């Protein structure tokens, strides 16, 4: 009996020891549910308790103290086209939003063209926008209130203010396959580019923006709003809160998904599409608009995933120091979430990717994260995943840190 009892105790301890010796990783819980095709989660810069959710069909929803507010912040369903890759695709709040009340949205209009519009919140309720304040930015010498889109896909759509206070706009190549108009390499096209503009202008300004004098392209025939060339469909980009680096997830064609890294303030780069897909030669004639081409810091082929969703460099505290500085990203089609480390060269500011880790199972897999359309962070830098198909926002948490299992144990009689 005594021998049997020791055997049972030993077996039980072996199970416990196996559990506690496992390394802790991220976990997840549903933060908000009941959404319709969400594509964005954006922190209110003026109130830590408030976040905004972008729904593709045209609504911007409000979360206040963790509760989804019934009333919309803004409803644009009547003035946009939605479905497939079209819809309300981006939202960004001005750095001085607390004072100015200005914010910006990116959507496809009823003709499928890209509109970047400025709005202001209402005077009477900070959780409701004033639709009458809409002003559509006027682009380039044409003065058009939209950027023409030749096809229905590859609209990009992400908006974000950089640490320099300027608004960055990710534009896809205009759609179809293989960029048939070679637009991403055309200096006279907004498509296939990262744009950078200064929207801190008077409300009477006829364009709604100015071109920063430090933008990199000043040659005749090149649109001065362009910050970088050679993007296919930059589906989500973000700025590292600590370093100011711009990190872009660019969706590939048939073979490769890529992550591009740009040190703070280092515009003027050509990421290669369609001359290259990822780091690989693709359609090399005509040649690139200019050289050198900048390779991605990380890529994966279509045996791993088929449509990258760019994420964020984690700078929160809940996940612990081991995750701080790692870049979270996902694949929309496969519903997978990974991180990579960023080894930054202090002399150049450039980064190399290290140690890709798959966290999908830790986060609950497909039933929890679904098809991931975006990531977001709150005022504390904590991470959220946008489940497009499940209609939820998922908060990433840490698992309890458990002590290492003791070794060389003996049962003493």
Query: Tens-digit pLDDT profile for the chain (413 aa)?
Result: 444 433 433 333 333 333 333 445 689 999 999 999 999 999 999 999 999 999 999 999 999 999 999 999 999 999 999 999 999 999 999 999 999 999 999 999 999 999 999 999 999 999 999 999 999 999 998 899 999 999 999 999 999 999 999 999 999 999 999 999 999 999 999 999 999 999 999 999 999 999 999 999 989 999 999 999 999 999 999 999 999 999 999 999 999 999 999 999 999 999 999 999 999 999 999 999 999 999 999 999 999 999 999 999 999 999 999 999 999 999 999 999 999 999 999 999 999 999 999 999 999 999 999 999 999 999 999 999 999 999 999 999 985 543 444 444 444 44
Rounded CA separation 140/144 (Å): 8
Q: What is the DSSP letter of 21?
A: H
Q: Give the CA distances from residue 225 to residues 41, 93, 147, 214, 218, in Å, rounded to whole numbers and listed in that order.
A: 26, 20, 12, 10, 10
Say how far apart CA 372 and CA 331 lie, in whole Å.
7
pTM of the model: 0.91
Q: Which two tokens stand for residue 297?
A: 């810091």
List the structure tokens of 306. 């088929």
The CA distance from 101 to 104, in Å, is 10
């Amino acid at each position: 009996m005594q021998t049997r009892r020791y055997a049972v105790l030993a077996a039980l301890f072996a199970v416990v020891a196996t559990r506690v010796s496992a390394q802790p990783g991220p976990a997840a819980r549903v933060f908000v549910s009941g959404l319709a095709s969400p594509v964005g989660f954006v922190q209110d810069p003026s109130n830590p308790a408030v976040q905004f959710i972008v729904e593709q069909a045209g609504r911007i929803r409000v979360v206040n103290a963790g509760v989804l507010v019934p009333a919309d912040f803004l409803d644009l369903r009547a003035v946009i086209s939605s479905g497939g890759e079209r819809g309300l695709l981006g939202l960004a709040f001005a750095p001085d939003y607390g004072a100015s009340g200005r914010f910006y949205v990116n959507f496809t209009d009823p003709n499928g063209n890209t509109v970047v519009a400025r709005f202001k919140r209402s005077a009477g309720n900070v959780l409701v926008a004033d639709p009458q304040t809409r002003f559509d930015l006027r682009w380039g010498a044409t003065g058009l209130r939209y950027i023409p889109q030749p096809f229905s896909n590859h609209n990009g759509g992400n908006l974000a203010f950089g640490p320099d206070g300027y608004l960055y706009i990710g534009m896809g190549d205009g759609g179809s396959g293989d960029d048939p108009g070679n637009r991403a390499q055309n200096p006279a096209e907004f498509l296939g580019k990262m744009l950078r503009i200064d929207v801190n202008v008077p409300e009477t300004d006829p364009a709604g923006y100015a071109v920063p004098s430090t933008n990199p392209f000043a040659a005749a025939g090149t649109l001065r709003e362009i910050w970088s060339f050679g993007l296919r469909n930059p589906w989500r980009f973000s700025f590292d809160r600590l370093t100011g680096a711009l990190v872009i997830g660019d969706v590939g064609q048939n073979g490769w998904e890529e992550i591009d890294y740009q040190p703070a303030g280092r515009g003027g780069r050509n990421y290669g599409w369609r001359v290259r897909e990822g780091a690989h030669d693709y359609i090399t004639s005509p040649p690139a608009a200019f050289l050198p081409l900048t390779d991605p810091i990380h890529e994966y082929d279509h045996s791993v995933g088929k449509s990258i969703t760019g994420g964020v460099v984690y700078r929160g505290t809940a996940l612990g120091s081991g995750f701080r500085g790692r870049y979270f990203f996902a694949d929309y089609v496969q519903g997978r979430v990974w991180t990579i480390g960023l080894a930054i060269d202090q002399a150049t500011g450039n980064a190399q990717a290290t140690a890709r880790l798959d966290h999908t199972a830790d986060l609950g897999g497909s039933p929890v994260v679904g098809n991931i359309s975006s990531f977001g962070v709150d005022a504390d830098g904590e991470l959220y995943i946008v489940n497009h198909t499940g209609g939820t926002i998922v908060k990433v948490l840490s698992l309890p840190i458990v002590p290492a299992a003791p070794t060389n144990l003996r049962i003493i009689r």
